[in-house]
Amino acid sequence: MVAFEAPSELPRDAVSDTTLGRTSGVEEDRVDTGDTVGATTGETVEEWARAYVESTSLAHKCTPPPAPLRWAEAPSPCDPRPGRPPELRVSLAKPRSVKLGALRAPEARARLLHKFWHHELQAAELMCWALLRFPDTEPEFRRGLVRICRDEIRHMGLYQRHIEALGYRVGAFPVRDWFWERVPTCETPVQFVALLGMGFEAANLEHTPRFATWFRAVGDEAGAVLQERVGREEVGHVRFATRWFRRWTNGGDFDTWCASLPPPLTPLLLRGKTIQRERRLLAGMDAAFIDRLEAWRPSP
C-alpha cells in the first residue's frame, strides 16, 4: 500500500528521541523510538532548532542530526529567518498554476513535487521557529512541534525520492518562501496554530486527495499513493493545532479562528475547493466550524 519508505539517509528518529525536561529527576514524556539518543554535546533543543532554521546546508535540511535531550532553562524568544542552501534558487515570482493535463509530463510532476518538498521544508523550519519564538508555551506543545518537524522532514524525503525517480533532483526548480513570508507575522501561539496547523496544513487535507486523483489520472500511481500518505499523516498535525487552539481560546469557534488569522489572510486560502469533512472531523474540527468554513465568502 505504501509506495515509499523513509529514505535511509533520513535522520534516524531525529527528533522523537527527545526527552524534554526532567521534573524532580523523573523522566517525563519520553518518546519511544527504538533509537539511541544522538546528542551528547550539551546542545539544547533550542540551539538545534535554530541551527536547523538557519542552516545553509542542503544535507542539514534533509538530514539534521538527532535532537538533543536538553531544553534551555529560560530561553528568550527569538525570531530567526531561514538559511537557504546554494542548491536552492529562491524566486519571488508566483509559480505557474498546474493543470491536470500538463502532469502527463514527468518534468511537470517533478516541478509540482518539488514545490511540495519545499512546503515540507518550510513547515519543518516553521515548527522550529515557533518553539523559538514562543518559548513560554507549555512543554507539551513544544515537544509536539519537534515531533511534527520530524514528520515534515520525513515527508521531504518521500518527495525527494519521487522527484529523483522522475529523473530530477532537489534544486532543479526554483522555490518560493511563501509560508515564511506569512507565518512569522503571527505574534502569538494562538495565531500560529490558527494559521499554520488549522489553516495551511488543514487545506492540505483537501489538496492532497485532489492531487492524488490527478497523479492517478496521468498514470503515476506512486505519486498518487504518496499524496494519499502525506494527506493522511497531516491529519495528526491539524489535530495538534486544533487541540491547542481550543485549549488556549477556551473552545474558540469559527469566529475566534477568523479573528486569530494575521491580516490579510482570510479563510479563502485556507481551504480546498471541496471540503474534506470527514478528515477535518478526524482532525478535531467540529461540524459547526466546518459548516462555517464551507459557507465562508469574502465580503463584497
Contact residue for Fe ion among 17, 201, 220, 228 (CB under 5 A):
201
CB closer to Fe ion, 80 vs 236: 236
Beta bridge partners of 27: 22
Contact residue for Fe ion among 17, 46, 152, 206 (CB under 5 A):
152
The helix (run of H) or strand (run of E) holding residue 69 is none
Q: Kindly state the smallest distance separating residue 200's Cβ from Fe ion, in Å.
A: 8
Segment near Fe ion (CB under 5 A), from 118-126, 157-165, 171-179, 205-213?
A: 118-126
Q: Kindly state the smallest distance separating residue 124's Cβ from Fe ion, in Å.
A: 8
Let me know: does 127 contact 151? Beta carbons within 8 Å.
no
Number of residues in contact with Fe ion, rule: CB under 5 A? 6
Residue 86's identity, in one-letter code, is P
CB closer to Fe ion, 39 vs 124: 124
Please name the residue that has the C-alpha cell 507575522. 185
Does 206 help bind Fe ion (rule: CB under 5 A)? no
Q: Kindly state the smallest distance separating residue 270's Cβ from Fe ion, in Å.
A: 14
Q: Kindly state the smallest distance separating residue 20's Cβ from Fe ion, in Å.
A: 20
Let me know: does 235 contact 216? Beta carbons within 8 Å.
no
Q: Kindly state the smallest distance separating residue 250's Cβ from Fe ion, in Å.
A: 25
96's grid cell: 505557474
CB closer to Fe ion, 201 vs 206: 201
Q: Kindly state the smallest distance separating residue 42's Cβ from Fe ion, in Å.
A: 30
Q: Round to whole Å and give the CA distance between 6 and 137.
A: 31
Show Cβ contacts of residue 179 under 8 Å, excluding neighbours closer than 6 positions. Answer: 119, 122, 123, 126, 196, 200
The closest alpha carbon to 61, from 197, 198, 222, 177, belongs to 177
Beta bridge partners of 90: 175
Contact residue for Fe ion among 162, 237, 271, 279 (CB under 5 A):
237
Q: Round to whole Å and give the CA distance between 286 and 148.
A: 22
Q: Kindly state the smallest distance separating residue 41's Cβ from Fe ion, in Å.
A: 28
Does 239 help bind Fe ion (rule: CB under 5 A)? no
Segment near Fe ion (CB under 5 A), from 11-19, 43-51, 150-158, 173-181?
A: 150-158
Residue 174's identity, in one-letter code, is P
Segment near Fe ion (CB under 5 A), from 72-80, 81-89, 154-162, 279-287?
A: 154-162
Q: Round to whole Å and give the CA distance between 148 and 22.
A: 21
Q: Kindly state the smallest distance separating residue 92's Cβ from Fe ion, in Å.
A: 24
DSSP labels for 147-186?
HHHHHHHHHHHHHHHHHHHTT--TTSS-B--HHHHHGGG-
Does 155 help bind Fe ion (rule: CB under 5 A)? yes
Q: Which residues bind Fe ion (CB under 5 A)?
A: 120, 152, 155, 201, 234, 237
